[in-house]
Homo-oligomer: A and B are copies of this chain.
Amino acid sequence: MREKHFEKESFGLDEFSLDGSFVGTYEEMIRQVVIPYQEKALRDEIEGAEKSHAIDNFRAAAAMIETGKCDADFYGMVFQDSDVAKWLEAAAYSLLKDPDPELEARCDEVIDLIGRAQHKDGYLNTYFTVKEPEKRWTNLEEAHELYCAGHMIEAAVAYAECTGKEKLLEIMCRMSDHVYQRFVTEKAEGFPGHPEVELALMRLYRYTDNNKYKELAEHFVNCRGVDSDYFVKESEKYPWTVWGNNCEDREYTQCHAPVRKQTKAVGHAVRAVYLYAGMADVAKETQDEELADACRVLWDNITKQRMYVTGAIGSAYEGEAFTADYHLPNDTAYAETCASIGLIFFARRMLDLDKNRKYSDIMERALYNCVLAGMQLDGRRFFYVNPLEVVPGISGEAKTHKHALPQRPKWFACACCPPNVARLLTSIGRYAWSQEEGTVYSHLYVGGTLQINDHAKGKITVVTNYPYDEKVQYHFKPDGQNMDMKLAIRIPGWSQNTQILLNGTRLEVTPVNGYAYISHKFTKDDILELSLDMSVRKIFPSEKLNSDSGKVTYSRGPLVYCAEGIDNKGDVLALTVKREGKVSEFRMDELGGVVGIEVEGYRTLGGDELYSYERPQQDTEVIKMIPYYTWGNRGLNQMRVWIPEK
C-alpha cells in the first residue's frame, strides 16, 4: 500500500473540509442518511423498495468465475454494477472526511467480491459474466460495459485517494488494460453507447500517471462518430438488444458525427454531458484546441439555447433527450438530476480550459436548483425528473406526464440519480476550488477550509451562510508569516453590485471574465469579504421560448424561485404577477429555514368553465414563492416556476 495521494489536479480531496453551513449540512446528511440508505438498497435490505440485487449480482458473477456456475440469476438493469460503483465512490469520500472502520470494512468486503467477479483477462461486468457470457463486447450501443467500467474506475480512484487502499484500483487497471488491449492494441472497432469511461480514464490517468489510460480516453473520444454507422453495423452483426433502442438514431448516442464536428447538444442528455466532460478533459490534457473549441460550441448551445432556468437539461422524456433550440416545456421536461450533475462535470472541466464565470455561474445554477431539487430535504426521497411545473391530476398521471412525478418516490429500480448526488456533494471541494499556475480560484462559495500546500502555504477558511447570505468571508491563516498569493474569486453574473473588501476596506478590482484577481500577502486574521447583491430579481424568458411566453420568474442570488400550492391557497395556476409590483423577502422557518419571497400579483377567480367570453374576476394577491430546490417537500401540490405577468 502506497501512501495516500490524490489525482494530479488542482487540490487534493483532503485539502478541503466543509463546515456546518449550507453545503456542509447537505454533505453531512449524505453521509448520515443517503450513503447508508443506498448501501441497504444495494443489499436489498429495504422493505418495500424495488429490489436492487446489485451486490448479489457480483456474488453470482464471482460464483460463476470460481465454479463455472451460479445459483442466482443476474437481476436488474444491464448497468446495475454502476450503482455499486457510485456508492463506493461516495463512501470513499465519506471515509476521508469521517473515518468509519465498519463502513470501510464493508467496502473492502465488496471490493474483494468485485475482485472475485473479475475474469483472468481483466474483464469485469456481472451482466455478461452471469447472463450473457458469449456476448461480451457485441452490443456497445446498449449494454453499458464501458459505462460500468467507467464508474468503477472512478470509484477505484476515489477509494485509493481516500483510503490509500489500491485493490479496487488494481482491479480497474486490469480491466482498463483489457479494454486497451482490445480497442487500441487489437484495434477492435467501436466506442461506448453511453459515454463515461472517457472522463473516468482521465481520472485514472491523472492518478496513476500512466499514459495509456489517457491514450485510451483519447481513442474513444476520437473514434466516436467517425463511422456514424457503427452501431447500425454492430446490430446487424450481432442482432440482440437490451432496450430495443433504435440504432439508426445516431444523435441519441452522439455518434452522428465526429465529436469535433458536433455543434448541437443532441440525444440522451446524460450521455451528452458525460461525453463533453470527457472531451474537455482530453482537450486540456492533450492541449487539443480543436477539441476544446468543439467543447466551447457545445457548451454555448446547451446554455444559450437548451437549458432550463434551473440549470436542468433534457426537454423530452422520449430518449431522455435534448430536442430543439428554445424548446423547453415546463410540465413535460425530463430535466434529469443526473444530467445537471453531468453539466456540472462538464462545467468544471471547462473551467480547467478557460477561466470564465460563464462556466461557474452555470455550475452554481445547476447545483443549487436542479440538483438539490433532486433530493428530499431529509435525504430520503429522490426525483429523477425535475419539472418546472406540476399539476396534480396531470403530472405523473396523464400519458404524456407519467415521468414527471409530482412527489419524490423512495428509490428507483434504476438508481442512477441518488448516488450521483451523493458523490457530487461529498466531493464538492473539487468544484468549489481549483488552482492553476499559482492562482487559487474560488468558483463556489462553500463554507469550509482549504489547505494550500503549494506556493503560499496556509489555510483559507470560507465563512458564509451562502446561498442565503450576501456575504462570503475568506479568513486566512498562513503557516508562516503570510500567504503571498493570487486569489481569483468569481463575481457571479447575477450580482449587480458586488464589492470586495479587505479588512473592511473596499478593493478596486476589475474582474477578468468574471473573476476578480487579488494578489496580496495575506496575513493571519486578514478577512477578505465578498459582498454580493442578493436583491430579488425578476427573470424574463426569451420570446422564443413558447412555453414561457408572457411569464416571468424570480431569483435571489443563485436560487430560482417557484410558487407552490400549499403557500398559495392550493392554486398557483390562477396567479398572475403584477408588472411593477412590490417584492419582499421573508424568513420561512419551514423547509429548513429559507428566504421566501412575496410578490404583488393577482388571483383569477375563474370557475371551471373551459372557455369564457367574460373576463374572469381578479383579486389582488400576495404570491408566496420558495426556492425551487425546496419544492415537493410538503405533500401533493401544484408547483410553477414561470408565472404570467400582467
Residues of A within 8 A of B (CB): 303-305, 307, 309, 315-319, 321, 323-327, 329, 331-332, 389, 391, 393-394, 397-401, 494, 537-546, 549-551, 571, 573-574, 576, 579, 604, 606-616, 640, 644-646
Task: Kindly list chain B residues whose C-beta atoms are within 8 Å of the C-beta of A551.
Answer: 549-550, 644
Task: Kindly list chain B residues whose C-beta atoms are within 8 Å of the C-beta of A309.
Answer: 610-611
What are the nearest 10 A-B pairs in CB distance? Answer: A550-B644, A323-B398, A543-B574, A318-B399, A324-B398, A543-B606, A543-B604, A327-B394, A316-B400, A324-B394
Q: Would you call B607 and A542 a contact (CB within 8 A)?
A: yes
Q: Would you call B543 and A573 a contact (CB within 8 A)?
A: yes
CA distance A465 to B512 in the complex (A): 69
CA distance A606 to B549 in the complex (A): 12
Task: Kindly list chain B residues whose C-beta atoms are within 8 Å of the C-beta of A394.
Answer: 323-324, 326-327, 546
Task: For residue A575, give the distance in angstroms from its CB to the closest CB of chain B.
Answer: 9
CA distance A470 to B539 in the complex (A): 45
Q: Would you call A397 and B645 a contact (CB within 8 A)?
A: no
Q: Would you call B332 and A606 a contact (CB within 8 A)?
A: no
CB-nearest residue of chain B to A550 = B644
Interface residue SS majority, chain A: loop
Q: Would you call A613 and B538 a contact (CB within 8 A)?
A: yes
Known: A305-B608, A540-B611, A579-B646. 8 other contacts (CB 8 A): A329-B400, A538-B613, A542-B606, A542-B612, A543-B571, A545-B610, A549-B644, A550-B576
Q: Would you call A540 and B616 a contact (CB within 8 A)?
A: yes
CB-nearest residue of chain B to A551 = B550
Task: Kindly list chain B residues whose C-beta atoms are within 8 Å of the C-beta of A614.
Answer: 540
Task: Kindly list chain B residues whose C-beta atoms are within 8 Å of the C-beta of A574.
Answer: 543
Task: Kindly list chain B residues whose C-beta atoms are within 8 Å of the C-beta of A324.
Answer: 393-394, 397-398
CB-nearest residue of chain B to A493 = B613
Task: For residue A538, give the distance in angstroms from its CB to the closest CB of chain B.
Answer: 7
CA distance A332 to B614 in the complex (A): 27
Task: For residue A534, give the distance in angstroms from its CB to the closest CB of chain B.
Answer: 13
CA distance A545 to B325 in the complex (A): 25
CA distance A576 to B315 in the complex (A): 25
Q: A544-B573, A573-B549 are in contact. Are A307 and B610 (CB under 8 A)?
A: yes
Task: Kindly list chain B residues whose C-beta atoms are within 8 Å of the C-beta of A317.
Answer: 400
CA distance A316 to B541 in the complex (A): 26
B304, B323, B391: which contacts A609 (Cβ < 8 A)? Answer: B304
CB-nearest residue of chain B to A609 = B542
Task: Kindly list chain B residues whose C-beta atoms are within 8 Å of the C-beta of A541.
Answer: 610-611
The residue in A399, A542, A612 that gathers the most chain B C-beta atoms within 10 A of its C-beta is A399
Q: List 11 A-B contacts (CB under 8 A).
A: A316-B399, A316-B400, A317-B400, A318-B400, A319-B399, A327-B394, A540-B606, A543-B604, A544-B573, A551-B644, A644-B644
CB-nearest residue of chain B to A646 = B646
Q: A304-B610, A398-B327, A606-B540 are in contact. Are A389 and B546 (CB under 8 A)?
A: yes
CA distance A609 to B549 in the complex (A): 14
CA distance A572 to B473 in the complex (A): 48
CA distance A318 to B399 in the complex (A): 7
CA distance A592 to B381 in the complex (A): 59
